[in-house]
Structure formats: structure tokens, C-alpha cells
Chains A and B, each alone.
Chain A
Amino acid sequence: MRFLPHTDTDRSAMLEAMGASSIRDLFADIPAEFQLERGSLGLEPALSEAAIVRKFTRASEKNRNATNSRYFLGGGTYHHFVPAVVDYVISRGEFLTAYTPYQPEISQGTLQALFEFQTMIARLTGMDVSNASMYEAATATAEAALMARRVTRKSRVVMAGSVNPRYRSVTANYLSRLEGEYTEVDMGGFGTDLSKVIAAIDETTACVIVQYPDFYGSVYDLAPLRAACDAAKCLMVVAFSDISAFALIESPGAMGADIAVGSGQALGIPMGFGGPHLGLFACKQKHLRQMPGRVCGLTTDVNGKRGFVLTLSTREQHIRREKATSNICSNQGLMCTAAATYMTLMGEAGLEKVARHSAAALQMLVTKLPAHVTAPLDARYNETVLSFSDQAARDRFLATARSEDIFAGIPLEQIEPGAGANHLLVATTEMVEESDIADFIAALEVAK
């Protein structure tokens, strides 16, 4: 077993040093009735490294993937370009195999990368501060609701129906075991009518959660909602699923968000069948001490040199235990480093270009739609809902597209239970080429 350095000679010598006759002497504190016979578990026989590579390669080849297919799939996970530098940096053993930086003197690399990450996320989202970090967007949204309850000392959470259904259901689930009311506002169809959300706010409301761009890709002004939140003294939480949008359009901060949460998967992290991804969490300075999760802060060492530490740990479970404001302990540190590397390589101009190409691809697709397929008309970022005459037409199109290795979209009801089965959620990124769009449009012929 090459992962274990001991030889049997080592083992015997160590046991002898301790006065033990066999390794099982060291397990004498486990009652005999619970001790397994060696090799008795129902597992497969051990594989060599070569056999492991073969096994995984075979499994991998059973899947169609984004390197040999065309993807129009979104709904919270997007196929963006990942420059080779990103995986190179996070594969460096010193980043990859380090622990949470509890000993800052020998963890300055991770810590400075986290500080740079926090700064860039704050700038991109237009918020004052960012943590580092959350598991992914749905749990980050739930944490935002919990934080708003702490900040306002009110317990009611209002959720717009235009938020990703998975963020909604996870948040509802987390809140369901705690005191307080949770209200989802049906905005109708792929509605963008904020007045329905505004009407649901009352004086017991801790926060309103909206998505921008919303789950259906729509972009709209949140100013009326901001005013309503001010009047009711509640927080405005803005969720998002593809952060690359904010290199092109107004940020959640510019829209007046108190808390911005969402996914950072677009920032150099592969789709990975759903994870690990990266949750983002940013807020206004005044709410800093109620922000969950790990944060890195700037300080100095005994020689007065600049350095970094994990800070504000008085909120954390290892100090306050049952009074802790969250149970987040492991975080997505490596994913933060990936995102920091990606943003550094792209810079402002590169990020803006990604966003512009993603949005331009959608615009091209929508303008070329035939009459028998419709899309909403207002402002969209890189995602929209196509509606077909019926489910059969949609499914004929999906099958035709698949036969040409195009994953043309996600049947809406797959993510949003209860949605009509004639809709398709379609997303574009910079990885979509003009010829892909042409093939997509051509395949729509069968949906007539």
C-alpha cells in the first residue's frame, strides 16, 4: 500500500518500543464484539493506480461533457471558460494541501489570497465587505435570511418568486425549524412586477430577498423596492447566480442591496456536476459583525510588517458554541483562491468582455427565434425562458438538439416544480459561438 510509509519492520519496532505485541493491542478499548475481522467488509478488491485511472476514465467517457458538446444550460451553473492558470495555481500543493489558516505565520499565502478575493468580490458586487466564504449560492441565501433576522431583530422573511427555486426551497427549509414567518410572493409567470413583492412587506419583515438578474434572466430596477425596504426598516437582500453580470451591468450595491449573495462558480470554477462551487456573501460595512462565515483581516506582526489573519472569530462556534451565529466551519477556501486567480488574470477588461459576450450571444439567439418559439422581450442578461406551443414540440426540439450534441436548455419544470412543461430555460456564456446559435436555431424547425 503505497500511501502508507511503514514497513512491517517499522510497525514491529514501534510496537516493541511501546511494549505492545500486536497492533490490535492498541484497540483493546474497543469492545471485542464490535471489532471486525480484517478484510471482512463488503467492498471491492483494491485497485492499482493504473486501474483507478482506467475505472474513472471509463466512467468519465460514459458522460457527455462540455468539451465535446455545446451547452445552453444554466439555472445557477454555467459553462464559462477556465484559463489554465487557475487550475495550475490551485493545484500547487502549498495552496491545495494547506488547512484553514489558524497559524497565520505560516499561512500568509492563503490569507493574502483571501484578502484579495474579498476585495475583488466587494468591488464587483459594489458592496463594502465580503466574507470568504460560503458553500454555494442556495445556502448563502439562507444565511442571508438568518443574518437579516439578527440585524433587524425581526423574524419575517419575504422571498420573491423570481429567485432561483433551489435557493428558495433551501432557504425555506432552513427557516422552517425556527420561529418566524416565511412568505413567498408569486410574481406570476416570469413576472417582473416588484409591486407584488412590495405589497408583501410589513413592519415585522426582516428582509426581502430578490434575485438580480432574476432566475429567468430578467434585469430590472430595484429602486422602488429599496424605498419600500427603507420605509419598513427591513433589509434588501439581492441574490444572483452568475456574478460575471456585474462586470457589465449595475451591481447589487449600486441597486442599494444591504446584503448580496450568490454563486461565484462563474469565476474560474468548472461546473463539476454541481460542486464544489463557491458561495458569495457581501454586505454593507455597518452589518459586518453579523456576517457569517470566515473572514480575513489585515493587521501587522511584531515587527510592524503587514500581514493577514482570520478575524472576527467571536461570532464563531469554537468560541460561542450554542450562541454562535452559524455553524460554518469548513469553507470553500480553495475555491476563493481559484476565483481570486481568475479575476486577477481577467482584470476589469476581461471580466467585462466575458459578460458582454455572454449577453451578446443571448441577444443573437433571441433575435433569430422563429415565430413558433417565444421569449420575453424586456432586459435579459445571459439567460431566458423559451416557450413552445406544447411539451411535445419542446421535447422534439430537445431530442433533435441532443442528436447534434447540443444540450439546448433545462426543462423549466425540472428546477421549478409546477411550471408548465412547454418552457425551456436557456443560457449562453462566452463559450457559445455564432455557429452554435445557428445550429440551435436550425434545430428549432422540428418544434413547429
Chain B
Amino acid sequence: MINPDYKYSGTCGIQHEEPLLFEHAHDAPEALNMPGVDGDISPELAAFARKRPTNIPGLSEPETVRHFVRLSQWNHGIETGFYPLGSCTMKYNPRVNEQVVRLPGLAHIHPDQPEESVQGALELLYELQQWLGEISGLPHVTLQPAAGAHGELVGLMMIRACLDARGESNRRKVLVPDSAHGTNPASAALCGMQTVELKSGADGRIDLDELKAHLDGDTAALMMTNPNTAGAFESDIREICQLVHDAGGLVYGDGANLNALVGVARPGDMGIDCLHINVHKTFSTPHGGGGPGGGPVVVNETLAPYLPVPRIEKQGSQYKLIHHDQQSIGPVLGSAGQIGVMLRANAYISAFGREHLHKIAEDAVLNANYVLHRLKERYHVPFEGLCKHECLLTDEYQNSHGVKTLDIAKRLIDLGFHPMTVYFPLIVHGAMLIEPTETESRETLDAFCDAMLEIADQCEAGETEMLHDAPVKPFRRRLDETQAARKPVLVWQE
């Protein structure tokens, strides 16, 4: 018999208080024994000696380890529990990936050492480029962008360069559906383009009439996410791309949701011209508290000449970094990219190979539809039909009991789960976007669904106060975000 206190597994257990490291009440211990030259610095440099101490406290090694291990124990990670964050793709990160990127010949190499001394690293990166091209159906690839949003910016820079080369510098309008990721309009603005918002149709998809009404001779691009952020596939994709192309624009694909398609269908085949791939999501780099990630951009022939430098190319049997190219949009990062993230992606794709890659999307879509199926009677489903790798619910049924999305999310914490994505996409009120991913078992999905149903029961039973008070179990309760923003304290003052 399972102990009812631990029905859903979760976050209760040993909890340590741990002061800020600045509050440890002793002087710093002796400095580490450092290697190297313990000689004199030049007298010219000595004249610039720092006059005020840095006041960086310093702890002994055992204290440092204990400090950070205790902090780590206050975190929920994918290795501690289910993390159904819609649009974020929190899947299990294979440990072998962590092992291989730490091999000295990959971790301890300098980006400017001679090419012949880094052929092994370049080979793995080139191979990844080829694979991303094949998986997306867009064969020309840059690994340089450091994140998805960075990839968006780079993609739009390429689209702009292409239009300018065609003599169409008037085209600066970017159509962005109102369901899009918030980074889309921000990326367009940074690229010197103007965003026009497209209202979604009643089914949460792009409305073809709305699209037609906004397409004109100034249109540079449509930025679309497919499957979209409501979890639905844009089934009119062929017509959408055709309309944009007929109007002289290009189609940018936000690849954040590629996890639903990988091995099953290719954006390039559908008419997308340019796509960024969140390799850290689809190909499993751990999110690390928010990063690092990687946002390679894949493009078709039309945009290929404008790829940023440096590029990784194969010439004969040698791999080269190409730093200069006439039509390139230029460098967008100080290096060739977040190489460690790319190597993990190579390892992940290697593990699936051509035989199994489609299972990523298949199991992800299976899991999302299963969760939707189990919850759809008790939580309002704004858009009917199949979902792809994430499902969208709202708090509409719970609202009449005075319970909101945020309360449901916080109650989930008490039940041992990380909440789903809340209040996104903005097109539905009280949104809850759930993305289970392919690496969760049926047992976990059932436990999560049981917890969601229990919360629905508690709403209907009028246990409103408990829901408003949640979470009560973690180390800290609801935090005052207004105070933090009104009187920002970003550094510790003794």
C-alpha cells in the first residue's frame, strides 16, 4: 500500500536553511594553492593596483560544496520530478551526453587554435549540421545562434538581407500571430522591422482571411510556430506558405515546437523558408536554470548565401571554419556557437538514429493527447481536436469557485509536481499549457492527471482557502514579486 502522504512523490523531505555566502561569519580561509608563475608583475601594471578590496568572501572547499549542495536541494529539476512546462520541452537529459562533452579534447580546446588541431570537434559539428538539415528539410545550417530568440533575430537578418539583395528594401513588415512566442515581435523590432499582429481564428489557428488581409507589397515575412503555441498543427500550412510567397514574402518558422514533428514531418517540405531549432529542447541539453541553449538556423537555397560567419565546411577530407563571405550577414556571436550544446545534440541524435528518431515525436504526441483525454471532462478545453506535443486547458470551470490558474499551479507544487506553463498563450484566458514530452512514463502521467483531478475535486468541494494558500510544503511560500520589482534589491548590502 502506497503511503498517502507520498502518493504523488515530490518536494517534501529534508530542508536545510542556508545563509547567503556573504553571511558566513568568518574570515576567508587561506587561498587555494595556485599553479603558475609566482613572480613580480610589471611596475607599470602595479601602478594600476586595485585600491579597494573586492570583498568576495571565499569559503573553504567543504563549506563551498555544502553551501551549493544545500541550495541545489531547494530546486525542482527534471531529475527530481515531472516538469510539464508547455512550450519549454523539459525532457530527460541523458547522462552520456554530459560525459562525452567533458572529454578533454572537446572541453579544453581554444576556438582560435589551428584547424588541423581540432578536426575531431569540427567533424562532430559538421555532422550535426548535416543532420539538422536533413531533419528539417532545410539543408543549409548555421550553428552560431546562442539561443532560440537569437536564432529568430539571425533568421530575420537573413530574410532582410535577401529582400535587400532583391531590391525590395521597402519590405519591413513582419506578420506575427497573436499566439506567438513573445520573443518573435522583440526579435523583429531588433532587426529594424515592424510587427503586425494577426488575430487567431476561432480554432486557435491562423485565419487565412486575416492573413490575406494583411499581406501586401511591404510584407517581409510571416513568423509562424507550427505546431502553434495552442498545441495545434496548422493544417493549412501549404496554403499559408503559398499565400506569403505569392505576396513576395518569406516564411519564418519558430522551431520551438519541433519536438512534435521530429522524424515525422519536415518544415522545409511544407514551404517554410527559414527555421530556428531549439536544440536544447528537442535534442535534450539540460536547461541549467535557464540556459545555456542553442538556436541553430536552417534555411533553403534562397537564404543560403546570407548565413552568418563563421561557417563550418568540409573541403576534401578537411573541416574548415569559413570566416569571410561576401553576402553573409556577418558575425552574430563572438564565437562559432555554444559548441557544448551542439555536441550534446549530436550525441542525442546518434542515440536515436534513423530507426528511432520518429519515436521522439510519436511518444511526445501520444503523451500529450493522453493527458488531454484524461483531463478534458474536468478542465475547459478551448480548442477541440487533436493536440500535438502539448495540450491547452483553461481555468474556466474553476473560476466559478473562485479558483484561478495560478492557484491550480501552486497547488500542484504541494502535490509534488512542477506547474505547467501558465497564462500563455495570451489568446485564451487563464491558459494552462501542458507538455509532458516523450521521456515520461504512463505512471507519471497518470499521477499528474490524478493530481489535477484531485485539484478539480477540491475546487468543487469549496476548499478554496487551501488552494489560495498553496503552496504550503516548499521551503518558501508565495513570494512577493511586487515588492521585488518596486524596490529592486539585486546585490547584497552588508
Judge whether B190 is part of the interface by a CB distance below 8 angstroms: yes
Partner of B183, one of A79, A317, A323: A317
What is the bound-complex CA distance between A93 and B182, given in angstroms? 29
The reply to whether B386 and A26 form a contact with Cβ atoms under 8 Å apart is yes
Chain B residues within 8 Å of A183, by CB: none
The reply to whether B354 and A46 form a contact with Cβ atoms under 8 Å apart is yes
In the complex, which of the residues A45, A49, A361 has the most CB atoms of chain B within 10 Å of its own CB atom?
A49
Chain B residues within 8 Å of A274, by CB: 111, 334-337, 339
Interface residue ranges of B233-249 to A (CB < 8 Å): 233, 235, 237-238
Known: A56-B106, A68-B104. Is A96-B149 also a contact (CB below 8 A)?
A: no
The reply to whether A364 and B477 form a contact with Cβ atoms under 8 Å apart is no
Binds B, one of A80-88, A151-159, A194-202: A80-88
The reply to whether A98 and B75 form a contact with Cβ atoms under 8 Å apart is yes
Interface residue ranges of B174-215 to A (CB < 8 Å): 182-183, 185-192, 195
What is the bound-complex CA distance between A432 and B36, given in angstroms? 5
The reply to whether A65 and B104 form a contact with Cβ atoms under 8 Å apart is yes
The reply to whether B491 and A136 form a contact with Cβ atoms under 8 Å apart is no
Residues 309-331 of A, flagged 1 when their CB comes within 8 A of B and 0 if not, give 10111101111011110111111
Residues 13-46 of A, flagged 1 when their CB comes within 8 A of B and 0 if not, give 1110110100100111111011110111111111
The reply to whether A380 and B42 form a contact with Cβ atoms under 8 Å apart is yes
Chain B residues within 8 Å of A356, by CB: 38, 41
The reply to whether A77 and B111 form a contact with Cβ atoms under 8 Å apart is yes
The reply to whether B58 and A346 form a contact with Cβ atoms under 8 Å apart is yes
Residues 280-295 of B, flagged 1 when their CB comes within 8 A of A and 0 if not, give 1000001111111100
Chain A residues within 8 Å of B286, by CB: 96-97, 334
The reply to whether A327 and B183 form a contact with Cβ atoms under 8 Å apart is yes
The reply to whether A135 and B150 form a contact with Cβ atoms under 8 Å apart is yes
Judge whether A332 is part of the interface by a CB distance below 8 angstroms: yes
Interface size for chain A: under 10, 10 to 19, 20 to 34, or 35 or more residues? 35 or more
Judge whether A288 is part of the interface by a CB distance below 8 angstroms: yes
Residues 333-364 of A, flagged 1 when their CB comes within 8 A of B and 0 if not, give 11111001101111111111110111111111
Partner of A38, one of B20, B157, B358: B358
What is the bound-complex CA distance between A276 and B21, given in angstroms? 26
What is the bound-complex CA distance between A71 and B100, given in angstroms? 23
Judge whether A91 is part of the interface by a CB distance below 8 angstroms: yes
What is the bound-complex CA distance between A307 and B474, given in angstroms? 12
Judge whether A403 is part of the interface by a CB distance below 8 angstroms: no
Judge whether B375 is part of the interface by a CB distance below 8 angstroms: no
What is the bound-complex CA distance between A402 and B424, given in angstroms? 55
Judge whether A206 is part of the interface by a CB distance below 8 angstroms: no
The reply to whether B149 and A330 form a contact with Cβ atoms under 8 Å apart is yes
Residues 87-108 of B, flagged 1 when their CB comes within 8 A of A and 0 if not, give 0101011101011111111111
Judge whether A286 is part of the interface by a CB distance below 8 angstroms: no
Binds A, one of B26-34, B393-401, B453-461: B26-34
Known: A298-B489, A359-B42, A361-B36. Is A98-B288 also a contact (CB below 8 A)?
A: yes
- Give the shortest distance, in Å, between B165 (CB) and chain A (any CB): 15
Binds B, one of A103-111, A229-237, A386-394, A439-447: A103-111
Chain A residues within 8 Å of B36, by CB: 357-358, 360-361, 429-433
What is the bound-complex CA distance between A117 and B58, given in angstroms? 13
Interface residue ranges of A214-252 to B (CB < 8 Å): 219, 221, 246-251
Chain A residues within 8 Å of B54, by CB: 123-124, 246-247, 348, 351-352
Judge whether A166 is part of the interface by a CB distance below 8 angstroms: yes
Chain B residues within 8 Å of A18, by CB: 369-370, 373
- Give the shortest distance, in Å, between A308 (CB) and chain B (any CB): 8
Judge whether A145 is part of the interface by a CB distance below 8 angstroms: no
Judge whether B349 is part of the interface by a CB distance below 8 angstroms: yes
- Give the shortest distance, in Å, between B387 (CB) and chain A (any CB): 9
Judge whether A448 is part of the interface by a CB distance below 8 angstroms: no
Judge whether B153 is part of the interface by a CB distance below 8 angstroms: yes
The reply to whether B290 and A109 form a contact with Cβ atoms under 8 Å apart is no
- Give the shortest distance, in Å, between B243 (CB) and chain A (any CB): 16
What is the bound-complex CA distance between A101 and B74, given in angstroms? 11
The reply to whether A288 and B488 form a contact with Cβ atoms under 8 Å apart is yes
Judge whether A385 is part of the interface by a CB distance below 8 angstroms: no
Interface residue ranges of A160-208 to B (CB < 8 Å): 164, 166-167, 169-170, 172-174, 177-179
Interface residue ranges of B459-479 to A (CB < 8 Å): 471, 474-479
- Give the shortest distance, in Å, between A387 (CB) and chain B (any CB): 18
Partner of B334, one of A41, A138, A250, A361: A138
Partner of A288, one of B351, B365, B388, B490: B490
Judge whether A254 is part of the interface by a CB distance below 8 angstroms: yes
Known: A53-B100, A64-B113, A379-B45. Is A89-B288 also a contact (CB below 8 A)?
A: no
Instruction: Name B358's closest neighbour in chain A (CB-CB).
Output: A38
What is the bound-complex CA distance between A73 and B117, given in angstroms? 14
The reply to whether B109 and A271 form a contact with Cβ atoms under 8 Å apart is yes
Residues 61-102 of B, flagged 1 when their CB comes within 8 A of A and 0 if not, give 100110111011111111110010100101011101011111
The count of residues in chain B whose C-beta lies closer than 8 Å to any C-beta of chain A is 192
The reply to whether B479 and A104 form a contact with Cβ atoms under 8 Å apart is yes
Chain B residues within 8 Å of A248, by CB: 41, 45, 49-50
Partner of B94, one of A3, A36, A101, A167: A3
What is the bound-complex CA distance between A108 and B287, given in angstroms? 16
The reply to whether A360 and B41 form a contact with Cβ atoms under 8 Å apart is yes
- Give the shortest distance, in Å, between A271 (CB) and chain B (any CB): 5
Chain B residues within 8 Å of A273, by CB: 106, 109-111, 118, 121, 335-336, 339
Partner of B353, one of A13, A43, A81, A299: A43
Residues 428-472 of B, flagged 1 when their CB comes within 8 A of A and 0 if not, give 000000000011111000000000000000000000000000010
Judge whether B341 is part of the interface by a CB distance below 8 angstroms: yes
The reply to whether A249 and B69 form a contact with Cβ atoms under 8 Å apart is no
Instruction: Name B131's closest neighbour in chain A (CB-CB).
Output: A43
In the complex, which of the residues A33, A81, A321 has the most CB atoms of chain B within 10 Å of its own CB atom?
A321
Instruction: Name B88's closest neighbour in chain A (CB-CB).
Output: A99
The reply to whether A108 and B103 form a contact with Cβ atoms under 8 Å apart is no
Chain B residues within 8 Å of A277, by CB: 335
The reply to whether B357 and A41 form a contact with Cβ atoms under 8 Å apart is yes
- Give the shortest distance, in Å, between B308 (CB) and chain A (any CB): 9
The reply to whether B481 and A118 form a contact with Cβ atoms under 8 Å apart is no
Instruction: Name A324's closest neighbour in chain B (CB-CB).
Output: B186
Chain B residues within 8 Å of A256, by CB: none
The reply to whether B232 and A60 form a contact with Cβ atoms under 8 Å apart is no
Chain A residues within 8 Å of B111, by CB: 77, 271, 273-274
Chain A residues within 8 Å of B90, by CB: 97, 99
Binds A, one of B1-9, B296-304, B325-333: B325-333
Judge whether B146 is part of the interface by a CB distance below 8 angstroms: yes
Chain B residues within 8 Å of A124, by CB: 54, 56
What is the bound-complex CA distance between A381 and B46, given in angstroms? 10
- Give the shortest distance, in Å, between A246 (CB) and chain B (any CB): 7
In the complex, which of the residues A75, A126, A294, A299 has the most CB atoms of chain B within 10 Å of its own CB atom?
A299
The reply to whether B98 and A170 form a contact with Cβ atoms under 8 Å apart is no
Provide a sorted-by-A list of 7 A–B residue pairs whose CB atoms are within 8 angstroms: A43-B353, A52-B351, A98-B289, A250-B51, A327-B186, A330-B293, A432-B36
**Extra pairs beyond A29-B233, A106-B413 (5, CB < 8 Å):** A6-B441, A40-B354, A60-B105, A106-B74, A311-B481
Nearest 4 A-B pairs (CB), nearest first?
Answer: A347-B58, A334-B288, A46-B353, A274-B335
